[in-house]
Structure 1
């Protein structure tokens, strides 16, 4: 089932203007409006959030806005610059999130994320990450994902706070209480429906279709079908002409997996030649399938390093062919290097001179495309005494800088994400535990070593000036080894009194 994301940018013209002006932009708490022309009238085309809270609205005549707020700051609107910036934002989303992205003017994007959400940790995490990244850039956004473009569009504008995930098959129930403008219909149609007593999308869906179409035209019926997903609404994917792209058009539609794999191999061959002429290697490939029913299917694969190896790229793409539903046939295949980087070929070193190193880049790419690149990483040391801060995640093929963990005390093979509280029985306050209970299981300690005292990093924040931990390595009667610690504060640092936690497990 398709899944579509609608990204709504309610303050896009003003957010875009602030980013363009940079330090010269008016302060965020300043009441600001953008002014454009509608015929011979000057009207408000965009309002900042403080101006909206002051009662100003889009479409209001400029004279009325000045009458309500004489000190309002006005600047000219630039719809062409807004549209161009929205196009650039769509290209950014194309490179980072999904192979099918298009602008949804004047204030949004539409992204077909079918089969791509697992690469970002799931739909909820993907939407949250998208909204947060835009927010960090000064762009306020809301996002929703649903089974259809129409449902996602309505949810993004009237349900998302700031994100909303509509479950599979649950679009109708979710959008029924929403106002009629969520249907993406003309303002005069909205006014006509309001005049007949309709208030929500559910009210319109509940009545027979024929009288509505007879009164308001076929566009209303089409929007109702699109919001329910009963008819397809394909997204016309945005493509940058500067991206390396190859295409195959078929005289007769194809559908067999073997045929798709054969033509995929041919497209990869042509694309690699194009990349070679530019001195580039592919980091991300998008393979689009245009079906005869005017819908799109897509495959996206990525690599950890720039690659121009045809066999490796073909394998990555063909591993995902089983996810493609050809329907009644595929008539066009497009292969695009959505992300490419300079590739410098290195001469192979003879095994007579140096020891040959194993190349695991192909294995990393296969695993990353199956489970998501974010779930594949290496652990590297960080200079910190606090155990949970002494590690960091790095890409699996990141160069080894030779850094190691310092100290004579061993560290557990597995460090828990959060230390878990345990119940401990100790002979004396400053002795190792005689037994402890973790996750409902009581364990008797047979051997123990410690304590290793670790203080908080006082230079990071004042609260850590008094933080003290006493770590013990303990072994229970079954031979399992654990890493425990007793917390303390400045009043207990001498005796070590405090709560006990389990922080890690040894192999």
Structure 2
């Protein structure tokens, strides 16, 4: 199913200036101006300027009278367009299908790749957060209809529109959300048509006579009744292989064959460049102008075309061919230098070579998700829940290591669970405890082992725990701790248990 992100950058010209010159501060009003005849008017205004009442089209003299300390810069449409193109290339990390929506937006078709980011909501949050960290204000909406996503991102609150709910999402929005020309919008206002729902309720023939065919087309695109293709941008340096068919294809076997052929073609090109694939995108374009995309990554650079093709085999079944697919594009969207290597040498004992598990990692990641294939690396801390961190499966070994001889349980509870205990003396272990409504009698115990947080974290993160290893009368062994001395009202917690 098609899912499109409409990314709206309401203050892109001024955000670009701040990123380029690192001034003025965000809380200082900034506008860009253009010259129309003998008049200088505001072309764009930052958020601080808008809060002061400055809007696009206002004369600069009037704006400076309202805000004496106003920062004024000349508008640079050409520079803004080039910067927007670079931002769109950056957005390819989220999906292979990215297109410009000039002058202040970007299209991103995320169908088939949203699971790589933990779902649509997580993808949207990551996208907006990355932009805001870099000083770019943004609003975005996701819908199965590009026109609906565009309308909600600019005239709604943004967010996710459930599949099939485009009509409900845009009906209450103003007609300006239909991407129509100002004269057409003015004609609608004169007739009292303010909302998209009002326009959609009008008979089609009179509406076309009054407002033109463009209004009918834009309305159908917003409601999902007309196709709106997105032509992705592909950087010139990117390695691409394309197949266009005289007759559309739809069988799964044909798709697999095409993917294998394109993978072989891409790898031949990469051999000449001395590069290997780290991320591979495949885009399908259907006869009805709709499309879909799949993405696969590799743990390390490779030019094994058979292995790359297999990464898509299980997921090709999720592609809906509709009335047929007329074009398939395979894109090596991320590559790394990869020199030729000799696989087998005479006199070399192959048994001594280190096993290459990168293919296994790639297949598992393609099947269950990249975030679920990892290994644990040691972290230099004594706090139990922070002693391990998830790292990529093939990342180099860490320099640090876990201390030898630490009596640690085979499993930790996250978070620790409270228990009810009876302690004989302040520093003594419990004689018995209740955990998950079951009473346990302790026959052996060892401790306490005091663990504190790192001093450089400050008093806000200060932590003190006294750990005990307990063995019950039934042979079970547990790891419990008290989070403060008994005189200070410390509570007991179950943190893990031994095999």
TM-score (structure 1 length as normaliser): 0.91
Q: How do residues 114-153 of structure 1 correspond to structure 2 at under 5 angstroms?
A: 114-153=111-150
2:208 equivalent to 1:213: yes
Three-state SS of the structure 2 residue aligned to 1:359 is coil
In structure 1, the partner of 2:162 is: 167
2:11 equivalent to 1:11: yes
1:7-60 CA distance string (max 9 Å, x none): 1111111111111113xx212221111001345532111112111111100121
| CA spacing shift, 1:351–1:244, aligned 2, 3 Å | same
In structure 1, the partner of 2:76 is: 78
- The one of 25, 47, 52 equivalent to 1:49 is 47
Q: Measure how far apart 1:379 and its partner are.
A: 1.1
Is the CA contact (8 Å cut-off) linking 2:380 and 2:400 kept in structure 1? no
- Aligned-partner Cα distance in 2 for 1:391–1:310: 36
Q: How do residues 302-317 of structure 1 correspond to structure 2 at under 5 angstroms?
A: 302-317=297-312
2:289 equivalent to 1:289: no
Is the CA contact (8 Å cut-off) linking 1:245 and 1:335 kept in structure 2? yes
2:166 equivalent to 1:178: no
In structure 1, the partner of 2:103 is: 106
1:314-361 CA distance string (max 9 Å, x none): 111223211222222222221110111111344447663762332221
2:449 equivalent to 1:457: no
In structure 1, the partner of 2:267 is: 272
Q: Measure how far apart 1:154 and its partner are.
A: 1.9
Is the CA contact (8 Å cut-off) linking 1:151 and 1:175 kept in structure 2? yes
In structure 2, the partner of 1:410 is: 407
Structure 1 gaps of 5+ residues are none
> How many residues were matched structurally?
496
Q: How do residues 400-479 of structure 1 correspond to structure 2 at under 5 angstroms?
A: 400-401=397-398, 403-406=400-403, 408-438=405-435, 440-446=436-442, 447-465=444-462, 467-475=463-471
2:82 equivalent to 1:90: no
1:433-465 CA distance string (max 9 Å, x none): 344454x43241445433211112221112345
Q: Measure how far apart 1:496 and its partner are.
A: 7.0
Is the CA contact (8 Å cut-off) linking 2:5 and 2:146 kept in structure 1? yes
Is the CA contact (8 Å cut-off) linking 2:33 and 2:44 kept in structure 1? yes
1:178-229 CA distance string (max 9 Å, x none): 3332222222322333333333333333444333222111222222222222
1:469-502 CA distance string (max 9 Å, x none): 11223355665544322111xxx47x57412233
2:496 equivalent to 1:504: yes
In structure 1, the partner of 2:223 is: 228
Three-state SS of the structure 2 residue aligned to 1:110 is strand
| CA spacing shift, 1:391–1:496, aligned 2, 3 Å | farther
- The one of 355, 364, 367 equivalent to 1:367 is 364
Is the CA contact (8 Å cut-off) linking 2:229 and 2:289 kept in structure 1? yes
Three-state SS of the structure 2 residue aligned to 1:459 is helix
- Aligned-partner Cα distance in 2 for 1:186–1:437: 72
Is the CA contact (8 Å cut-off) linking 1:377 and 1:394 kept in structure 2? yes
Is the CA contact (8 Å cut-off) linking 2:32 and 2:73 kept in structure 1? yes
Structure 2 gaps of 5+ residues are none
C-alpha RMSD of matched pairs (Å)? 2.3
| CA spacing shift, 1:187–1:265, aligned 2, 3 Å | same
Q: Measure how far apart 1:424 and its partner are.
A: 3.5
Is the CA contact (8 Å cut-off) linking 1:8 and 1:141 kept in structure 2? yes
TM-score (structure 2 length as normaliser): 0.92
Q: How do residues 298-377 of structure 1 correspond to structure 2 at under 5 angstroms?
A: 298-348=293-343, 352=349, 355-377=352-374
- Aligned-partner Cα distance in 2 for 1:435–1:156: 59
Three-state SS of the structure 1 residue aligned to 2:455 is coil
Is the CA contact (8 Å cut-off) linking 2:440 and 2:472 kept in structure 1? yes
- Aligned-partner Cα distance in 2 for 1:404–1:284: 31
